[in-house]
Chains A and B, each alone.
Chain A
Amino acid sequence: MRVKIHVTLKEGVLDPQGKAIQKSLGALGFKSVSDVRMGKYFEVELREGLSKAEAEKELVEMCEKLFANVTIEQYSFAIE
């Protein structure tokens, strides 16, 4: 079972890397960009046979303990 996890910075948390990318886009002539926020994407393979409820429970724990630092980040995941 494949899971796609997105981790993004919470609103209000400064994202200097996103700002630097935004600036570069401006330098490249992309005038339409008004903001860039950078995040992380993970693909996780879980063993087959796990129920959806079990998988969700484990994934929440994984996200809270490792994939995201919930002080600054929020997460979402999609089970395929």
Chain B
Amino acid sequence: MKFGIVVFPGSNCDRDCHYAVQEVLGGEASWIWHGERSVGAVDAVILPGGFSYGDYLRAGAIASSSPVMDAVASFAERGGIVIGICNGFQILCEAGLLPGVLLPNNSVQFRCEQTTLLVTNINTPFTELYYREEVIRMPIAHGMGNYFVPEEAANQLEEKHQVVFRYVNEKGETTPESNPNGSVQNIAGVCNERGNVLGLMPHPERACEEWMGSDDGLRIFASMSRALGSRRK
């Protein structure tokens, strides 16, 4: 099981992802430079968090036109598993691999805090190790995490089970108070229609061991590993 982690100028969670999948999960991880035209021999691709190109123009906009993004798009087209975390989510949206866009937080403040999330779809290669409607904890750290899609598109996401995570309170209820950034329908993570590309603002790699405050994020990487293992059989 080999994870390829894409490194853009300004990525800063790449090493954290490497640690999570290699040291904690026991998988293998390698780097993919943003100028590469192929993702190489990897089983899954991670677009890590950070501030690629200093968030110039719009978060993720410049990175989305990097050579490596064509390679990531064809990897996804072939059914490859791709996860974008935080800035990675912004890049996937800008590249058109996921619907919607991440706007500045409605508070206009950078929010760095623990969040409570509801896993709303466990039938994806990223979430198969969670329980149905499980309430989990993962931290966020972003200034532009306000997920926006026009209302009609948001309803379609719901119908097609593309909403994977929502910000909720401790009881698992979707409330305005539990929404840290103003995202439409408290959406924290979405996948494409096919289910092999996921983007989320919370950081699973920062919640992969108990001392971090939560180890709930590890099961995302573990799910990916398991999903790929069962594909091979």
Contacts and interface: CB of A to CB of B under 8 A. Distances in A.
Interface of A: 13-14, 16-17, 19-20, 40, 65-67, 69, 71-72
Max chain A Cβ within 10 angstroms of own Cβ: one of B57, B107, B146 = B57
Contacts of A69: 58, 61, 94, 101
A73 to B, nearest CB: 9
Contact of B103 (A14, A40, A67): A14
29 contacts: A13-B103, A14-B106, A14-B146, A14-B182, A16-B103, A16-B104, A16-B105, A16-B107, A16-B108, A16-B146, A17-B104, A19-B108, A20-B108, A40-B57, A65-B65, A66-B57, A66-B61, A66-B65, A69-B58, A69-B61, A69-B94, A69-B101, A71-B100, A71-B101, A71-B149, A71-B150, A72-B101, A72-B103, A72-B148
B225 to A, nearest CB: 33
A29 to B, nearest CB: 21
A65 B94 CA distance: 9
A65 B149 CA distance: 18
A14 B147 CA distance: 11
B31 to A, nearest CB: 26
Contact of A13 (B58, B61, B108, B148): B148
- Name B's interface SS: loop
A3 to B, nearest CB: 17
Contacts of B149: 71
B4 to A, nearest CB: 26
Nearest to A13: B148
A54 to B, nearest CB: 22
A20 B105 CA distance: 12
Given A13-B148, A71-B100, A72-B148, 6 more contacts: A20-B108, A66-B57, A69-B61, A69-B94, A69-B101, A71-B148
Nearest to B64: A66
A77 B177 CA distance: 41
Most chain B CB inside 10 Å of its own CB: which residue of A14, A17, A65: A14
Contacts of B105: 16
Nearest to A68: B58
Most buried by B among A13, A40, A66, A71: A71
Interface in B99-127: 100-101, 103-108
A72 B146 CA distance: 12
Contacts of B57: 40, 66-67
